[in-house]
Amino acid sequence: MPLQNSFSLNLSVLKSQAKQRLKTIRQGNAEALLSIQRHHPKPHLLSSETIRLSDVQLGMAREFGLSSWSRLKLHVESLGEHRQLIERGSEPLDREMCTLHVRCGHDIQHKLRGAGFAGDFLPFIDPYCIGPLTSSSEFEMRRADFIQRTLLSESFETRSVEQLMAETQSKLEQIRNEHYQRLVFWVEHDNYDQLMLVRLLAFLADLPSSTRRQIELIEVDRFPGRERFIGLGQLPAEGLRLLWQQRQNLSLAKLHQTRQIWQAFCASTPQPLVALLHAAQLARFPNLKNVIIRHLQELPRCGSGLSLTQTLALDVLQQADKPLAFPDLFSAYQAMEPLPFLGDLMFWALIKPLTLGTAPLMIIEPDEKSESWFNQRHQGRRCLAQQVRAELPVSWVGGMVIRPEQCWCWDHQSLNSLRFIDGRK
């Protein structure tokens, strides 16, 4: 039966593809040769006359993000072994300890069950990557209010601020519950996952019971496959089993360090986050450097007043040079995004301000079928060129308030350009 998932690889198919690519290259196909040269450590030595099967296999392995054909072969064989264990119905992988699996969404919930995990599953869904963060006692209320006004109202959900706060408290109580001897966090490398992880680890750091529990982390920033890895939800059940073998125990020292990291994200200025980029402790959190930089790129550019998300959205429309349906706009944005972390609803929340005001940067045009099409305005093109500065509503980037007349900004490339502008003076 053919494998449908882009991350379920078949060794026989890969061997056949390698032989076919070698044949194509030897027939003089320059594009096929170039595709191997891009990933080969010695591309200048490869030609249609000199290339060997081992060169093609090495190039293919590196296309998949692995250093050698033997590593790719081992990876594929391991996936196959786990697939067979699933089909045979092996004993649960987490059976030796009462376990709570924590994830910032539902995407792997049913796959974990099918993969052979018996523990409970907790979807902790609060996109800390957008909206206000604060260390004050009003934190949960501010988050619930933001989610209700900015996200749920767009999807016509009717949950109140009080209901959202109660749901969050219930989930925190489940994490606190010592019935679970082991907590396992499943995260990838993007802002959504990493901020959820930091926030909950900082919460655990303040619990005396954490010294008596096993806290584990499954953290992944890549996975060999035939498409770009963005998140765990893309992976097949056997891929999740394979990651289980690579999980790591989190020490109390690492838990305590997340307190300072979380406070930096909640700070009203960017300096604590910038300082973290140079701190030795960040080495314990290999994905946080890119997350911090991408988080700071949601501050406006000084010339345009646009966040990186807003800039990319306008770039997409400018390159398309025609109206786009929202799914196409979001898909094209995802392809340009250096660190994909937004769902479509969060993306809409961040670009909606561009459609507002007396001089919108993009417009929504309904057609005769009542479908909405996004198009760029002349003002949007001028803003991208930094000829005018966008006048957008008040927003938050973590603990930093972004006001039209008063905010932190930079060029999104060099942190040396980071500065505070105050148009009131």
- pLDDT over 50 at 38, yes or no: yes
Say which DSSP state 420 is in. E
**How many whole angstroms separate alpha carbon 160 and alpha carbon 147?**
10
Query: Of 350, 417, 425, whose CA–CA distance to 130 is shortest?
Result: 350
Q: CA angle at residue 396 from 351 to 390, to 5 degrees?
A: 50
pLDDT digits (tens, 9 = 90+) for 49-97: 999 999 999 999 999 999 999 999 999 999 999 999 999 998 999 999 9
Record the tokens describing residue 282, joined without a space.
């960040």
Question: 68-96: b or e for each residue (b if 16 or more CB lie within 10 Å)?
Answer: ebeebbebbeebeebbebbeeeeeebbee
| Sign of the C-alpha dihedral computed for residues 145, 196, 282 and 336 taken in this order | negative
Residue with the two structure tokens 């800390």 = 128
Residue 372: the pLDDT is: 80
Residue 155: exposed, middle, or buried by beta-carbon count in 10 A (0-12, 13-18, 19+)?
exposed
pLDDT digits (tens, 9 = 90+) for 395-418: 999 999 999 889 999 999 999 999
Q: For residues 92 and 74, is the Cβ–Cβ distance under 8 A?
A: no
User: Which pTM value belongs to this model?
Assistant: 0.93
Q: Among 112-126, 324-338, 367-381, which is the least confidently predicted range?
A: 367-381
Residue 1: the pLDDT is: 40
CA atoms within 13 Å, Cβ hemisphere of 152 = 16
- pLDDT over 50 at 112, yes or no: yes
**How many whole angstroms separate alpha carbon 41 and alpha carbon 318?**
37
Residue with the two structure tokens 């709570």 = 100
pLDDT digits (tens, 9 = 90+) for 163-191: 999 999 999 999 999 999 999 999 999 99
Q: For residues 407 and 299, is the Cβ–Cβ distance under 8 A?
A: yes
Residue 4: the pLDDT is: 76
CA atoms within 13 Å, Cβ hemisphere of 336 = 17
Percent of the chain beyond pLDDT 70?
Answer: 98
Residue 158: the pLDDT is: 87
- At position 358, the amino acid (one-letter code) is T
**Mean pLDDT value across the chain:** 94
**How many whole angstroms separate alpha carbon 188 and alpha carbon 197?**
10
Interacting residues of 213 by C-beta distance below 8 A, sequence separation 6+: 178, 180, 181, 182, 183
Q: For residues 244 and 86, is the Cβ–Cβ distance under 8 A?
A: no
